[in-house]
Amino acid sequence: MPPIIEIKNVKKTYHNEEVETTALRGVSFSVETGEFLSIMGPSGSGKSTLLHILGLLDQPSSGTYLFGGQDTTKFNEIERAHFRNKEIGFIFQSFHLLSRTTVLENVILPLQYSKVPKSDHEKIALEALEKVNMTKRLKHVPSQLSGGEKQRVAIARALVNKPRVIMADEPTGNLDSVSGKAVMETIENLHKMGHTIIVITHETPAARYSQRIIRVQDGLLVNDERNEEGIHKFYEK
């Protein structure tokens, strides 16, 4: 089976008036279906740019990005948006939940932009919330939830369209160590269910839940290694 994701010599340069900034300088790697990958790097390393390209939120200046064998660099804006909504689930550091909308309604929201029949929306949302152990908070609004609970709702929302890849951008960045541990255990459980996971993080404890860690620095991939160590010990109290 070919990799679910394959990027080859991807470069990204931003132009602002007369200033040119190179964020990625030729990055190549692949991700297998069912793999759990973390991408690490200091601020300004290019890891967020890389996530935006992987998530089809941005395009590379040059290079090739294959998703499921399809060359995404040839997609137009509408094709990218459709593909992104169908194939990729996003988890963000700041949750991005609607403040006056219940947990259940927040999770249903992506389905409203899909081809899934409206009659199935609640059932699918409930299944996703069950996976993250949030079915007891269906009628709560985000202000009534802890940070960890908000992130678990965001994870459920990322699941409802049954994406082939889940991408998480600093999923523990706004959480204390206890909540962060719970969120990473939730993501780890999704991986055990067969989901392909890509996590962008600067936090070593979060990264060590993954099978593989890629390190990016100055726009280059500087290390790509399997994570052979134990995981939960890195969140020891």
Residue written as tokens 């962060």? 180
Is a pLDDT exceeding 60 seen at residue 235?
Answer: no
**The pLDDT of residue 234:** 42
Helices (H), 143-211: 147-159, 177-192, 204-207
Lowest-confidence segment of 34-38, 131-135, 196-200, 201-205 by average pLDDT: 201-205
pLDDT > 70 in the chain, percent: 96
3-class secondary structure, 100: coil
Q: What is the pTM of this model?
A: 0.90
pLDDT, tens digit, 9 for 90 and up, residues 74-120 = 999 999 998 998 899 999 888 899 999 999 999 999 998 888 899 99
Q: Which amino acid is at 213?
A: I
**The pLDDT of residue 43:** 87
pLDDT, tens digit, 9 for 90 and up, residues 149-201 = 999 999 999 999 999 999 999 999 889 999 999 999 999 999 999 999 999 99
- DSSP annotation string for 37-53: EEEE--TTSSHHHHHHH
**The pLDDT of residue 229:** 62
Q: Mean pLDDT across the chain, nearest whole number?
A: 91
**The pLDDT of residue 91:** 92
Cβ atoms of 190 and 197 closer than 8 Å = yes
What DSSP designation does 143 have? G
**Radius of gyration of the chain, Cα coordinates, nearest whole angstrom:** 18
Rounded Cα gap, residues 44 and 156, in angstroms: 30
Rounded Cα gap, residues 7 and 67, in angstroms: 9
pLDDT, tens digit, 9 for 90 and up, residues 187-231 = 999 999 999 999 999 888 889 899 999 999 999 999 999 987 644
Could you tell me what percentage of the chain is helix, strand and coil, using 3-state DSSP and rounding each to the nearest 5? Answer: 40, 30, 35
Rounded Cα gap, residues 93 and 187, in angstroms: 14
Taking the CB of residue 78, how many other CB atoms lie within 10 A of it? 8
**The pLDDT of residue 119:** 94
Is a pLDDT exceeding 60 seen at residue 233?
Answer: no
- What's the start-to-end Cα distance of the chain, in Å? 41
**The pLDDT of residue 202:** 87
Tally of CA atoms within 13 A in the half-sphere of 37 that contains its CB: 23
Helices (H), 66-176: 77-87, 103-108, 121-131, 147-159
